[in-house]
Amino acid sequence: MEWLRFILTALFLGIAVLFYITAVLGTFRFRFIMDRVHSGGIGDTAALFFVVLACMIGSGEIMTILKLALVLAFMWCTSPVSTHFLGQIEYYMDRQLNRYVEREDHHESS
Amino acid sequence: MKSRLRAWFDGDLSGMEEFVQVTETPDATHEDFKQTELAFEESLPQNPRSRMIERLGRKSYHILYRVVAVTSCIVFIGVMLYVIGHLSRFGTDNPRADEVSRRYIESGLEETGATNIVAGMILDYRAFDTLGESHVLFTALVCVAMLLQLDRKNTRRDLEDYYTTTLDVYFRTSQDRILQTIGFFVVPFIMMFGIYVLVNGHLSPGGGFSGGAILGAGMIILSCSLGFKTADRLLTARRLNLVTFIALAFYSISKCYVFYTGANGLENHIPKGIPGAILSGGLILPLNVAVGLVVACTMYGFFSLFRRGKLGSD
């Protein structure tokens, strides 16, 4: 049983590392900010989920699993909101964004 | 002119084309830099001798730069290794250096009653230092309030709306359903965690400064997501002043008592309790709470002063 748990932990940690590599590459190589925000969001959600899953399987204690689930719930609540706000501030502040997306113009009203 | 200036201040760029250039050019790439470099090279004097001198100068500058960088790195590493070589070996006794820290580690639990040695150190052995730190925080808050607070003499009527409403409307934080819902659910947990870190400061890692920072961050998230009106119901300017004053005064008075009895060899009447229990450690638990409240009030006060120019509703 012990080796199965080890293999599962290593597998999920490897998947998480793959997602993190995706996130880092996207954040540094993309030029448009929405793409970079998106790839950062992948690191915040998917990679974090696999890290926490691997930690859960690796520890095996019920209290640790519950605490890790709380951590996951908290991070899944908060990091997408900050990602959303990065995108939203870009949406309101960037005047060149009209080249990429259709939007109503908020600037003249304020 | 004044209204145009105000409009520009509010972020409106229409009619301002002669003052402000809205750039539509994309970011410069590596090829652009290369082009600029080539153009620069062509603009150099065509005399082959002067061009050669120019190239040689640039080349020697690069060589000199590398030599100086590598030499300073090697000197720095050598000095560090020399110092490390003169330290005592790990695990051996060094009576000159670690007399104080050994005293803290060996008899800290017995003398302060705190399981967390760091809390016992900063709030018992070195409480005077922490007293100064919390007063520094308070002084910083007072200075920021002196500079930024909008009062009768420091208010411009035409900018008042800008501080109160325009920022919120511009970034749509007060209308964002996602932020409001998440803030509504998350803020109580953040507050609870902050109070836990505060109250458990003498038992587990944490304490006044970290717990107060978490509490202040919770207040900032509350005022960001649910608006300053909601935050004002919890912490008005009067309450903020009162809490800071009571915390600092309690810290000063209780530490005066401890210093007085300690310096004169009198008996200290504050019970230490059983180490590990929540009510133990003598004065460390209430002092942790006092420091944490000062830190939380300072953080929220900074945010509120920078954001809207006042500490809270009057």
Nearest by CB to residue B170, choosing from A85, A95, A110, is A110
Residue B305: C-alpha distances to residues B155, B166, B301 (Å): 13, 16, 6
The pLDDT tens digits of the residues spanning B110-121 come to 887 888 888 888
- Whether B172 and A92 lie within 8 Å, measured CB to CB: yes
Looking at the predicted structure, is the pLDDT value of residue A110 above 60? no
Contact of B280 with B274, CB cutoff 8 Å: yes
The pLDDT tens digits of the residues spanning A78-100 come to 999 989 888 888 877 776 776 76
Contact of B179 with B224, CB cutoff 8 Å: yes
Helix (H) or strand (E) holding A89: helix A62-93
Mean pLDDT calculated for residue range B35-59: 75
For residue A85, the one-letter residue type is F
The pLDDT tens digits of the residues spanning B208-224 come to 899 999 999 999 999 88
**Cα gap B281→B268, rounded to integer Å:** 13
Residue A8's Cβ-side half-sphere holds a number of Cα atoms within 13 Å equal to 14
The pLDDT of residue B90: 74
**Cα gap B176→B60, rounded to integer Å:** 58
Q: Tell me the chain A residues in contact with residue B12 when contact means C-beta distances shorter than 8 Å.
A: 107-108, 110
- The residue in chain A having the minimum alpha-carbon distance to the alpha carbon of residue B6 is A110
**Cα gap B197→B214, rounded to integer Å:** 9
A81–chain B Cβ distance below 8 A for any pair: yes
- The residue in chain B having the minimum alpha-carbon distance to the alpha carbon of residue A97 is B24
Q: Tell me the chain A residues in contact with residue B27 when contact means C-beta distances shorter than 8 Å.
A: 31
Chain A: closest CA distance from residue B268 (Å): 41
Could you tell me the sign of the dihedral formed by the alpha carbons of B240, B241, B246, B252, in that order? positive
Looking at the predicted structure, is the pLDDT value of residue B20 above 70? no
Residue B215's Cβ-side half-sphere holds a number of Cα atoms within 13 Å equal to 27
Residue B297: C-alpha distances to residues B161, B218, B242, B287 (Å): 25, 11, 10, 15
Coil, strand, or helix at residue A31? coil
Contact of A58 with B138, CB cutoff 8 Å: no
**Cα gap B76→B97, rounded to integer Å:** 24
Coil, strand, or helix at residue A42? helix
Nearest by CB to residue B186, choosing from A77, A85, A92, is A77
Least confident of B33-37, B137-141, B154-158, B286-290: B154-158
Contacts of B121 (CB under 8 A, 6+ apart): B104, B108
**DSSP state letters, chain B:** -HHHHHHHHTT--TT-TTT-----PPPP-HHHHHHHHHHHHHTS-S-HHHHHHHHHHHHHHHHHHHHHHHHHHHHHHHHHHHHHHTSPPTTS--TTTSHHHHHHHHHHHHHH--SSHHHHIIIIITHHHHHHHHHHHHHHHHHHHHHH---SSS--HHHHHIIIIIHHHHHTGGG-HHHHHHHHHHHHHHHHHHHHHHHTTTTSS--HHHHHHHHHHHHHHHHHHH-HHHHHHH--HHHHHHHHHHHHHHHHHHHHHHHHHHHTTPPP-S----TTSSS-STTHHHHHHHHHHHHHHHHHHHHHHHHHSSSS--
Nearest by CB to residue A110, choosing from B22, B169, B182, is B169
Contact of B215 with B265, CB cutoff 8 Å: no
**Cα gap B61→B205, rounded to integer Å:** 52
The pLDDT tens digits of the residues spanning B126-176 come to 888 999 999 999 999 999 988 888 776 666 665 655 555 555 555 566 667
- Whether B166 and A110 lie within 8 Å, measured CB to CB: yes
Residue length, chain B? 314
Chain B: closest CA distance from residue A86 (Å): 11
The structure tokens listed for B52 are 């050669």
Q: In this structure, how many other beta carbons lie within 10 angstroms of the beta carbon of residue B252?
A: 14
Least confident of A8-17, B4-13, B250-259: B4-13
Looking at the predicted structure, is the pLDDT value of residue A105 above 60? no
Q: Which of B257, B270, B293, B255 is nearest to B126 (CA)?
A: B255
Mean pLDDT calculated for residue range A22-32: 88
What are the domain boundaries of chain B?
Answer: 41-84, 114-308
Residue B32: C-alpha distances to residues A73, B35, B36, B38, B39 (Å): 46, 5, 6, 10, 10
